[in-house]
Every structure is written in structure tokens, then in C-alpha cells.
Amino acid sequence: MSAITVVNRRSFLRTGGIGLGLLLGFTLPERSKLAAQGRRPAVAAKPGAYIHIGTDDTVTFLITKAEMGQGTVTSLSMLLAEELDCDWAKVRTEFAPVDPASYGMQGVVGSASIRSSWAPLRQAGASARVMLLEAAAHRWGADKSQLRTERGFVVGTSPNQRLSYGSLSEAASKLPLPANAPLKDPKLYSLIGKPVKRLDTRDKVSGQAKFGIDARIPGMVYASIARCPVFGGKVSSFDDTKAKAIPGVKNVLQISTGVAVVGENTWAAMQGRKALEIKWDEGPNASQNSAAISRMFADLAQKPGAVAKQTGDAEKALAATAKKLSAEYEAPYLSHAPMEPLNCTAVVRGDSCEIWASTQMQSGSRDAAAKAAGLTPENVKVNTLYMGGGFGRRARVDYVGETVEIAKAIPGVPVKLTWSREDDMQHDFYRPASYVKFGGALDAEGWPSVFTARVACPSFGAARGNGVDSTAVEGLHTLEYRIPNLTVDYHRADAGIPTSYWRAVGYTQNTFFAASFLDELAAAGGKDPVELRKRLLAESPRLLGVLEVVAAKAGWGAPPPGRFQGVAVVNNIGSFTAQVAEVSVTQGKLRVHRVVCAVDCGHVVNPAIVRQQIESGIVFGLSAALKGAITIDRGRVQQGNFDSYDVLRID
């Protein structure tokens, strides 16, 4: 349970200060999670998150998470506003500083913001509401139970008893905190479950929204870094004579990730960086290439790997069956390519450091900055700015550390580092390439009796005790199909290419592989792909539910002439999803005409935002399926910009 307190305004550190009114602070549950892991920070608990109700009726929510387009700012505010019963039009938000004592781990990964905030934010909103009710009851000498709230007002029994939250907020701030403020009956929700407009739209339509790359600090200089094009390589020597001759170049320095050029604007820094003459020590990956990686995957898949899932005895069943099938599927490395290239701004002053960053890992950014600056995390201040897309890339904080390295070398001067698109694409942490060898068999009636999947895929996570990295096999070892003999095994196949989260990980390729191979089994057994899945998912009601909805909505089985349909169904972190794609092939060219998607993601806070996220995922997935591939030659990425790594466009 989260702790809620009424806070003395002056105890809050916040630029600009907080005006009069009610300030309700509370702590968030991640904090207790940290405590449970024995990692409780040494600092005393501080109620850092807050609701502030100004005397001008403005309601400000402090958002401890980050926003990359997924709608966190809006959805979290909706939880608070619903129970507070305030006027949505008066809601403002601010991003919180990083402070583990108050907020626990701050970051947006694994689709967890709403899940972890659902209970505490509603409780905090409800507590503030009760205090406003109480303040009005005092003023009118009325019984609190006779009063109600209405979109930012407390309303009494007589017609002239109507006071805005703002006019009550000072008085409310002097009241004790109510114990167990009651929560609304969900039937009465006016925001949760409704397609409420996003809070960040105005700023994003006017050009005023501040992304990381938009940070402007007085006296700031600009930096660009040349990194070794080969993964794992480093600087051997460099000559900066020509770079320093470029107008506007101020400084050249070597840092751990390469050679940094500092200039009076981004352009000058980038030009200076181009003029650097660097000899690289290309390191152990200098001859790595995509064909060799594929071969390594295929070789590994010849032998059994670490078992990730085993039902029945696939080997025995295969040997005993006449109707067998096998197939290999392979997917390439993929880049995230968020529209905002990576960047960070930092200044090191004496024994303190301040950074401005668009990051999915606010806590991790603070730690990375501290490490690079040689300071303790408590001496680093993190300013969270909007992210121009994250997709998992901004869960890595490499770009924060290198910015602070530069800033440390020129103390007192704020530095903004901007990666070029080529930097972004060639120094990503990629969605791993992957190879899966499938085996299957059919029983006498043509239903699948055996399904085996052997995965060869790099690993960036910690493998469990038995050698299985779940991020590599998710989407396979999580299959809920009732097939009597089902085996998934795994080979760790590292190739020296950095990999990481990419809008999930294994699900992005394994779902495609598994759905395709299941269709091969369906075709071999003469079964309809939807009928087959229904049978295999008879005991998985939520998967079955979305499958039935999508089949009905897509007109399964009756595509327009010349078009074909394909279906897939998956449960990724508790969101049950089914899709039907309608495609045609003309002269070998695939065209996707329509994608119908059914999702059951449990409690929906904002259906418009969920819809956006799903559409976004479909476009992202189609970009990957139809266009994207990162290939390696001589240890380096061959793509560099959107000409060689194209993505879906409006047509």
C-alpha cells in the first residue's frame, strides 16, 4: 500500500516553487518493491509524487514515469483525476525528478506503468477529494455525507452551496489526511474507460513540446561522436588537425566510446567529426558478417539445446508418425530507429551533475551519469523530457554516460550530444536475429500431434539456471496450444552484435514463426487455420475469445477476390491479441490491404490510447515484416539511414 501525506509546500524542491493550495504527496509501490529486495535506499521515505490543487483551480499531477508516445502522461492522470473528480480541462502535468527514496525504480519498460499505478494513484485522488469535501463541510457547517463533488466543485444541499476545488484547496491543506478514502464504484467512472483526449496533444501540435533534443541551457555547446564502425572496436590513434580547422569547432577529445567533437552548434560539431582522421583497432568482430551468423545459427540448431518447454515425448512421437513436417525460419537484426535520434544534455559543476534526457530508464540514466561523472547518484539531477519514440532503445543509457564524459572534460559548460541518424542505426542495440528449426507431425485425422521448435538466437539477458534465455524463446515456450507432444529448446548464439528490447523481444519474431508453421501443419492436415487454432485453444478462454472476435470481424474464410487471409493469436505479457491480415500477391509483390486486430488487455483506462498503441504496433510490425533488415559485413552495419532501412510510410 502506498503512503499518502499532506505535504508542506516548502519541503518540495521544485523549480519555480509551488503556489498556494492543497498539496498531497504520496509514495509509489515500486518503493516497497525495492525494500522487499533488500535494496531500500538509505534515505528516509519521502512522499515525492503529488497532486497539487492551486487556488486558481489548476490541478497539477507530478508524473514519475516517462512519455514516449504510449500515453502514460494521459492515462496516469486519468487515474488520479477520476477519483479526485476534477475538471479534466484544468489538469496539468510535470515530470518528476529521479528520486528512488520517493519513487522507487523510474522507467518505462515491460508495459508496466498502468499495472503498477492503478491502485495507488486512484487512492491518492480519492484522499484529496475527501479533504476537499471536508473543507467545504467545515465552511458550510454541513455534514460531509450530505455533500458531493462534481467536476472540480463541491456541491451542497442548498442551491448556493457550490465551491470550486481551488477555493477550498488552502483550507483542505490544513486538514488531516482521511483514513481509507472510499473509491468510486467503477460503474460511475466518467474518465476511466472513456476515449479521453490526450493531455500532450496541444504542445505536440504547436511545436512547444520539449523533447530531449530540444533542451537549451544557457552557454551550451554541441557535440558529435565518431565511434568505431565495428562493434567492440576502439580508437587506435587520431589526427584532429582538419577537424579543428572547421569553423565553429571548439574542442576535440577522446572518450570511452570514440572521439568527440565539440562545436558552437550541432552542424559545426558534425562537420568537425567528419573531418577527423581516425585509425581504429577493429577488435575481434572485424570479420563478422550476416552469412556467417546465419550459418552459426543453423549449425547450432542441428543438436538439441537447453529445454525451455516439454510436454509429452516429441522425439518418440515423431519416430512413430508417418506424416511429418519440418521447416526453418529466420529473422534478421532490426533497428529501433525512433524518429528522435539519441541525444542527451549534461553539465558537470564541481561535485554535481545535471542531465536533460529523453529516456525510458530515468533511474538507470541517473546511475550512468553518476558513474561517468565519478559522483554518487544523489548528486545527479535528472530532467525527464519527452521522448520522440523509444521502442526499447531508450531503455539503454549508453548515450547518457558518454554525454557526461564530455561534460566532465569541460566543467561548468553544458553539452548537448546529438547522434546522427547513421549513429543511431549503426550503434543500436538491435532486436536479435533469430533462427528456428521446426518439426511437426499429424495424427490419423490430420490434427497436429507433435510440435517442436529449436531456437538459435543471441541473448542479452541473463539465462536462467538451465541455460534458457526467456526473451529468446518467448512466443514459443509460452504457446498455449494443446498439442500432446510439444518441445521448445534453445541455443545461445552470440555474434558480437549488441542486442536488446525491441517492443518486446522474442514475441516479435517467434509469434510470426509459430503462426506460420502452425499454418503449414494446418495445410498438410487439410484444416482451416482458424478452426485448428480454436481446437488447440479450447482451454484458453481469453485467446479463444479474441480469435473468435477477429475471425468474425475480418470475415474469415471469405476474402475479396484475389486476396488471401492469414491469422495469428498470441498472449504477450497478459494482453491477448489476435490478428487477421488480408493480402494479395501480384507478380511476386506482396501487398497488405487490411489488418483486423482484436485485443483483450484487461482493464482499459483509455480505449483511444489503446487503439493508438495497437495501430502503432501493427505499423511497426509491418515495417519489420515487409521492409526492415539490419545486415552485417566486416563487423559493421551496412544500413545507415532511411534510404537503406526503409519503414512504412503513409501509402
Partner 1 sequence: MAITFTLNGGRQTVNVNPQTPLLWVLRDTLGLTGTKFGCGMALCGACTVQINGNAVRSCVTQVSSVAGKTVTTIEGLSADLSHPVQRAWMAEDVPQCGYCQSGQIMAAASLLAKTAKPTDADISEALRGNICRCGTYAQIRRAVHRAAEIKAGGGKA
Residues that bind partner 1 (CB under 8 A): 67-71, 197-198, 200-211, 213-214, 216, 222, 247-248, 265-268, 270, 337-341, 386-391, 418, 420-421, 608, 612, 615-620, 641-643, 647-651
Q: Which does 200 bind (CB under 5 to 8 A by kind): partner 1, ligand FES, none?
A: partner 1
- Spatial distance between the Cα atoms of 64 and 363, rounded to a whole number of angstroms: 11
Whole-number minimum distance, CB 332 to ligand FES, in Å? 22
**Are 358 and 212 spatial neighbours (Cβ–Cβ below 8 Å)?**
yes
Toward ligand FES, which CB reaches closer, 100 or 389?
389
- What H or E segment, with its residue span, contains residue 632? strand 632-633
Q: Single out the residue of 278, 279, 244 nearest to residue 262, CA to CA.
A: 244
CA 321 to chain centre: 44
- Report which residue's Cβ sits closest to ligand FES: 339
Q: Which of the listed partners (partner 1, ligand FES, none) does 435 bind, with a CB threshold of 5 to 8 Å by partner kind?
A: none
Please state the closest distance from residue 499 (CB atom) to ligand FES, in A.
23
d(CA 162, CA 150): 9
Of the two residues 71 and 529, which places its CB atom closer to ligand FES in the complex? 71
Nearer of residues 463 and 648 to partner 1, judged by Cβ: 648
Secondary structure of residue 574 in the 3-state scheme? coil
Q: Binding to ligand FES by residue 212, rule CB under 6 A?
A: no
Question: What character string, x for contact with ligand FES (CB under 6 A) and - otherwise, covers 465-504?
Answer: ----------------------------------------
- The reply to whether 339 sits near ligand FES by the rule CB under 6 A is yes
CA 308 distance to own-chain centroid: 26
**Residue nearer to ligand FES on the CB measure, 257 or 359:** 359
Nearest distance in Å: CB 366, partner 1: 22
SS3 512: helix
Round to whole Å and give the CA distance between 345 and 414. 7
| 3-state SS class at 446 | coil
Measured distance CA(345)–CA(369) in Å, rounded:
11
Tell me whether residue 375 or residue 614 sits nearer to partner 1 (CB atom).
Answer: 614
Distance of closest approach, residue 208 Cβ to partner 1, in angstroms: 7
- Pick one of ligand FES, partner 1, none as the site partner of residue 103 (Cβ within 5 to 8 A by kind): none
- Residue closer to partner 1 by CB (options 213, 544) is 213
Single out the residue of 25, 47, 69, 364 in contact with ligand FES (rule: CB under 6 A): 69
Strand duo 415-418 + 221-226: pairing:
parallel
Specify the 3-state DSSP secondary structure of 513.
Answer: helix
Whole-number Å distance between alpha carbons of 481 and 471? 19
- Cβ 207 to partner 1 shortest distance, Å: 2
CB of 247 to partner 1, least distance (A): 5
The nearest distance, CB 379 to partner 1, in angstroms, is 28
**Packed helices 398-409 and 362-373: angle between N→C axes, nearest 10 degrees:** 30
Whole-number Cα distances in Å, 198 to 61, 122, 188, 232, 389: 14, 19, 21, 42, 16
CA 27 to chain centroid, in Å, comes to 23
Q: What does 619 interact with, of partner 1, ligand FES, none (CB < 5 to 8 A by kind)? A: partner 1
Binding to ligand FES by residue 341, rule CB under 6 A?
no
Nearer to partner 1, 279 or 591 (CB): 591
Report the b/e string of 120-144 with b at 16+ CB within 10 A.
Answer: bbbbbbbbbbbbbbbbbbeebebee
650 binds, among partner 1, ligand FES, none (CB under 5 to 8 A by kind): partner 1
Measured CA to CA, the distance from residue 68 to residue 54 in angstroms comes to: 28
Q: State which residue, 296 or 619, has the beta carbon closest to partner 1.
A: 619
* From candidates 212, 332, 389, 628, binder to ligand FES by CB under 6 A: 389
Q: What is the DSSP string of 131-168?
A: HHHHHHHHHHT--GGG-EEETTEEE-SSTT-EEEHHHH
Number of residues counted as binding ligand FES (CB under 6 A): 3
Radius of gyration of the chain from its Cα atoms, rounded to whole angstroms: 28
Please state the closest distance from residue 604 (CB atom) to partner 1, in A.
16
261 beta partners = 224, 252
Query: What residue type is assigned to position 553 of the chain?
Result: K
Distance CA 205, CA 73 (A): 16
Beta strand 59-63 pairing with 91-95:
parallel
User: What's the closest the beta carbon of residue 385 comes to partner 1, in angstroms?
Assistant: 11
CB of 108 to partner 1, least distance (A): 12
Smallest gap from residue 421 Cβ to ligand FES (A): 8
**What separation in angstroms does the CA of 226 have from each of 68, 261, 490?**
27, 8, 37
Pick from partner 1, ligand FES, none: which does 213 bind, CB < 5 to 8 A by kind? partner 1
* Residue 299 contact, options ligand FES, partner 1, none, Cβ 5-8 Å cut-off depending on partner type: none
Binding site for ligand FES (CB under 6 A): 69, 339, 389
